[in-house]
Amino acid sequence: MVQKSAADTSTASAAAAPEAAAGSGRLAGRRALVTGATSGIGRAIALAYAAEGATVAVAGRDAGRGAAAVEQIERAGGSATFVAADLTTVAAVRQLARDALAALGGSLDVLVNNAGVYPPTATETVDEPTFEQVIATNVRAPFFLVQALLPALEASRGTIVNVGSWGAAVGLPAGVLYAASKATLEQLTRGWAAELGPRGVRVNTVSPGITVTDGTAAIAPALEHVGRALPAGRLAQPHEIASAAVYLAGDESAYVHGATLLVDGGALSTRAI
């Protein structure tokens, strides 16, 4: 986690909330699969869904972190199971779909495509393996996971929540490949909404701004300055992104189709950064 300076304490306190606080049962009885759920935003979404009553398949590569996430959910009174996830090949993605359905009793109400990789490299330094990794994880895996799970989602009249990025909407001097992959995911959201909405499946994107996670720790000094420039006065916390993902999965958003919900502290609407 990024260490906050004294100047950030007051604004950060506004975001401080128990990640697994009891909810109001908005997702009671639903079964959800969250990819990349063993850390960061994905873990926060898994915790929030479980707190709202969902049974969650926590998907990720690290069994130890997965077990810790499941333990945290169960300790708070929720229900979860870990599912090992390999998103590097289409065959592995289809295996994840089968394993998740088995773990959830054969049905699925919510799919969260959260898993992603972010190599902050310049164009001239991106090699072919890096390119393939980003596209495979951030684009190909969500596409074929939706394909594999579509029968279950249609049967339940379910919901897909894609996790995008505020960077998909602007030109950034670093991480252009990552931004392009997230822009592709947002376009898939719009296309899937048009294709799948009439079949009973809602599809939307939650688009986080810069969020304080283990993955952003390496650029912590720059992040504090960026956060202070935002209308919100600080960076996002994972549970704030998770709250938006709960909304998009729940009945309150029943008329929301093909949308990208920005949770970026005002970065894009004000061009603060």
pLDDT band for position 264 (cuts 50, 70, 90): very high
Q: Which two tokens stand for residue 58?
A: 């926590």
SS3 148: helix
pLDDT band for position 64 (cuts 50, 70, 90): very high
pLDDT at 262 over 60: yes
Q: Which two tokens stand for residue 48?
A: 């929030």
Which H or E run contains 226?
helix 220-229
Active-site residue numbers? 178
Lowest mean pLDDT among 17-21, 53-57, 80-84, 253-257: 17-21
Q: Which two tokens stand for residue 41?
A: 């935003």
CB-based burial label for 264 (10 Å; 0-12, 13-18, 19+): buried
pLDDT at 11 over 50: no
Q: Among the residues of 111-175, which ranges form H helices?
A: 128-135, 141-156
Across the chain, mean pLDDT equals 90
Whose tokens are 């398949």? That residue is: 57
pLDDT at 19 over 70: no
- Contacts made by residues 106-109, CB under 8 angstroms, sequence distance 24+: 106/152, 107/31, 107/152, 107/155, 107/156, 108/31, 108/32, 108/33, 108/149, 108/152, 108/153, 108/156, 108/158, 109/30, 109/31, 109/32, 109/54, 109/153, 109/156, 109/158, 109/159
pLDDT at 79 over 50: yes
| Mean pLDDT to the nearest integer, 157-162 | 98
pLDDT at 221 over 80: no
SS3 272: coil
Q: What per-residue confidence (pLDDT) applies to 272?
A: 65
Which is more confidently placed, 75 or 174?
A: 75
Q: What per-residue confidence (pLDDT) applies to 216?
A: 76
pLDDT band for position 125 (cuts 50, 70, 90): very high
Which is more confidently placed, 79 or 222?
A: 79
Q: What per-residue confidence (pLDDT) applies to 175?
A: 87
pLDDT at 1 over 60: no
Segments making up each domain of the chain, as ranges: 22-262
Query: For 22-262, which CATH superfamily applies?
Result: NAD(P)-binding Rossmann-like Domain (3.40.50.720)
The model's pLDDT over 32-51, given as tens digits with 9 standing for 90+, comes to: 999 999 999 999 999 999 99
| Mean pLDDT to the nearest integer, 12-33 | 71
pLDDT band for position 120 (cuts 50, 70, 90): confident
The model's pLDDT over 160-193, given as tens digits with 9 standing for 90+, comes to: 999 999 999 998 787 899 999 999 999 999 999 9
Q: What one-character-per-residue DSSP string does 94-116 give?
A: HHHHHHHHHHTTT--SEEEE---
